[in-house]
Amino acid sequence: MKKLLLFVLLFSSSLAFAQIAQVTSGSQALSTVLLDADPTITELDLVSFEAQAQGTEGVLVRWTTASERPDERFILERTADLMNWEILLEAPGDGGPSEITHYEALDKKPFAGVSYYRLVQENEGRYEELSDLYSVRFDPLNDLLIQGDHTPGRFTVQAQGPITELLLLNNRGQFIPMQLEYDGDMVRVNAELLASGTYYVQAIVAGSNILRPIIIDQGFVVGG
C-alpha cells in the first residue's frame, strides 16, 4: 500500500511539472513571436494636404505625413477640368515610420481660374490617389511686364498666362496696327515707326482684359 501511494504521488508530481513546463514553453514561444514581428510600415499615413494661391508667385502645395514606407515616392498632379491630369512633380519621400515630415512645392505657372491638385502613387503600373482633391483659384497677374529691346522700336510684352490678343493704342484710344509675334505668354512688338509719346498696350490674358500705358522716346520704350 505504501509503495502504491508513493507511486501515485510521484506520478502526480511529474504530471504537474509537465503542465507547468508546457505553459512556460508556450509563453516563451509567444514572446519569441512578438520579438520577431516585422515592424515595416505597409501604409502611408497622410496627415494633411492643401493648396493655396500665393499672390502672383503661383500656387503653393503643402502636405504632411506621420509615417512613410521605405522608398516612398510622391507624385503631385494638377488639372483644370477634372479629366486631363498632368504631373507637376515627382519627389522621393524624406520621412520614416512614426516620423512627422512636411513637404511643399510651388507651382510657378498654375492654370488661370479654378484648378485641382492631388497626390497619387504608382502601384503595379496603376495610379492610385493618396489625397482628396484640393481646389484653388488663381487669378493671373493683373499686370504686364513691358521691356524695351536694344533695337529701336522693338519691345516685348509678357504676362502670367498666355496672351491671346494684344493691341497698341494711342493716347486718344485709336488702334495702331503693329507687327506682332506671339510666343506663349510673351509677345514681341515691332513699333519702329511710332513717334515719341504716350501709348497704351491692351492685352487679353487668360480671358482678362489688361490695359497699361507705355512711354516711347525716340523709338525706345523708356517707361510704362
**172-204 tens-digit pLDDT:** 888 888 888 988 778 899 888 888 888 988 888
pLDDT tens digits for range 144-157: 788 888 777 788 88
Query: What residues does each domain of the chain span?
Result: 45-138, 145-223
Homologous superfamily assigned to 145-223: Immunoglobulins (2.60.40.10)
Exposed/middle/buried for residue 205 (C-beta within 10 Å: 0-12, 13-18, 19+): buried
The pLDDT of residue 211: 83
What's the gap between Cα 145 and its chain centre?
26
In 27-153, the DSSP E strands lie at 45-53, 59-67, 73-79, 86-92, 101-107, 113-123, 126-129, 134-138, 145-148
For cell 510684352, the residue is: 157
Task: Please state, for a pLDDT cut of 70, what percent of the chain lies above it.
Answer: 77
The pLDDT of residue 132: 92
Is the per-residue pLDDT at 110 higher than 60?
Answer: yes
pTM, 2 dp: 0.49
Is the per-residue pLDDT at 38 higher than 70?
Answer: no
Could you check whether 45-138 and 145-223 share the same CATH topology?
yes
Residues ≥6 apart with Cβ < 8 Å to 77: 85, 86, 87, 88, 117, 118, 119, 120
Q: Residue 139 carries which side chain, given as an amino acid letter?
A: D
For residue 141, name the pLDDT band (cuts at 50, 70, 90).
low
SS3 195: coil
The pLDDT of residue 97: 84
Is the per-residue pLDDT at 119 higher than 90?
Answer: yes
The pLDDT of residue 105: 94
The whole-angstrom separation of Cα 190 and Cα 183 is: 14
Q: Which helix (H) or strand (E) holds 150?
A: none
- For domain 45-138, give its CATH number from 2.60.40.10, 3.40.50.1000, 3.90.1150.10, 3.90.209.20: 2.60.40.10
